[in-house]
């Protein structure tokens, strides 16, 4: 009986009454052996383009039937999504990259405190974790502290707590300073503050009345580095 060859040239299962069925069976057999990574899918789609739609459906449905009794819906959905990404990468690489970028995109950082609250972190909690007090945190949020005087370790800690890249925190702190949003203005938005309204990180620490001595000493040493 003639053999149905796999994309790598090795002999597969015998051809049955239907070439389509034979392709499907050999495809599933290959996935069981080698996994459904992008290279495997691409090889099959390239050799059997007429069956690409059926093979795609098989690759996805395979994840609906394996271990679903013990896996959660989220785990099954994650596996199906992974296969979908691989299929997109084969047929529409540009579109696949765009989809992945959109999934991983982080909204622009517009307010440190609002971002913290969205993560369930209150200002006092964030200040304590950063080893600063709430007045220094408020000044950072309002961009009232000169970025060039802020220790990089603080920038990195803010990034870690807010789940942003350090570069995004630097971009935020480098922007124009602003007045407190709680103040009342006749204009629709708070006016911008001139650069002269900024102070150094050391000066901000010096007026932080609720900062513990241990934290004050810690930042003093950081500024000396």
| pLDDT tens digits, 192-217 | 544 458 999 999 999 999 999 999 99
107 Cβ contact list (under 8 Å, min separation 6): none
Q: Give the whole-angstrom CA distance, residue 180 versus residue 48.
A: 63
Query: Rounded to an integer, what distance in angstroms lies between the CA atom of residue 169 and that of residue 188?
Result: 26
154 and 207, same domain (yes or no): yes
Tell me the C-alpha to C-alpha distance, in Å, between residue 171 and each of 57, 125, 159, 167, 175. Answer: 44, 23, 11, 6, 6
pLDDT digits (tens, 9 = 90+) for 126-150: 999 999 999 999 999 999 999 999 9
95-127, pLDDT tens digit by residue?
A: 445 445 555 566 789 999 999 999 999 999 999
The CA distances from residue 114 to 27, 59, 141, 152, in Å, are: 50, 42, 10, 22
Residues 100 and 123 both lie in one domain? no
Helix residue ranges per DSSP H, 93-177: 93-104, 112-118, 123-130, 134-141, 152-162, 166-174
88 and 116 share a domain? no
In degrees, to the nearest 5, what angle opens at C-alpha 20 toward C-alphas 25 and 53? 90
Residues 143, 58 share a domain: no
Q: Within this chain, do residues 122 and 197 fall inside the same structural domain, yes or no?
A: yes
Residue ranges making up the domain that contains 199: 112-224
Sort strands 3-5 and 11-14 into parallel, antiparallel or unpaired.
Answer: antiparallel
- Structural domains counted in the chain: 2
Q: Looking at the structure, tell me whether residues 56 and 119 fall in a common domain.
A: no
Same domain, 155 and 92: no
Last residue of some domain: 83, 104, 125?
104
**Cβ proximity of 87 and 56 under 8 Å:** yes
Structure tokens at 78: 């994650």
Helix 213-224 vs helix 152-162: angle between axes, to the nearest 10 degrees? 120
- Are both 204 and 100 inside the same structural domain? no
Selection from 160, 132, 217 nearest residue 123 by Cα: 132
Question: Are 32 and 86 members of one domain?
Answer: yes
| Residues 200 and 116 both lie in one domain | yes
Judged against a pLDDT cut of 50, whether residue 13 lies above it is answered with no
- 0.85 cut: is pTM over it? no
Give the chain's end-to-end CA distance (angstroms, integer).
Answer: 77
> Do 120 and 165 share a structural domain?
yes
Domain boundary among 76, 104, 132: 104
> pLDDT (tens digit, 9 = 90+) per residue, 167-182?
999 999 999 998 655 4
Q: Write down which residue in 78, 104, 130 finishes a domain.
A: 104
Both 123 and 183 in a single domain?
A: yes
């Amino acid at each position: 009986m003639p053999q149905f060859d796999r994309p790598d040239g090795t002999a597969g299962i015998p051809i049955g009454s239907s070439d389509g069925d034979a392709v499907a069976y050999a495809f599933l057999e290959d996935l069981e052996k080698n996994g459904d990574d992008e290279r495997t899918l691409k090889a099959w789609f390239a050799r059997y383009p007429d069956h690409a739609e059926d093979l795609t459906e098989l690759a996805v449905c395979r994840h609906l039937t394996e271990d679903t009794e013990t896996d959660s819906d989220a785990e099954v959905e994650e596996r199906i999504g992974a296969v979908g990404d691989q299929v997109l990468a084969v047929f529409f690489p540009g579109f696949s990259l765009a989809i992945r970028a959109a999934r991983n995109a982080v909204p622009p950082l517009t307010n440190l405190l609002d971002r913290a609250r969205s993560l369930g972190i209150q200002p006092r909690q964030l200040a304590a974790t950063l080893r600063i007090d709430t007045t220094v945190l408020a000044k950072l949020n309002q961009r009232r502290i000169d970025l060039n005087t802020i220790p990089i370790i603080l920038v990195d800690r803010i990034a870690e707590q807010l789940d942003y890249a350090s570069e995004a925190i630097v971009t935020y702190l480098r922007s124009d300073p602003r007045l407190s949003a709680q103040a009342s203005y006749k204009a629709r938005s708070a006016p911008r503050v001139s650069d002269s309204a900024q102070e150094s990180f050391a000066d901000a620490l010096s007026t932080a009345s609720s900062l513990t001595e241990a934290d004050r000493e810690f930042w003093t040493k950081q500024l000396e580095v």
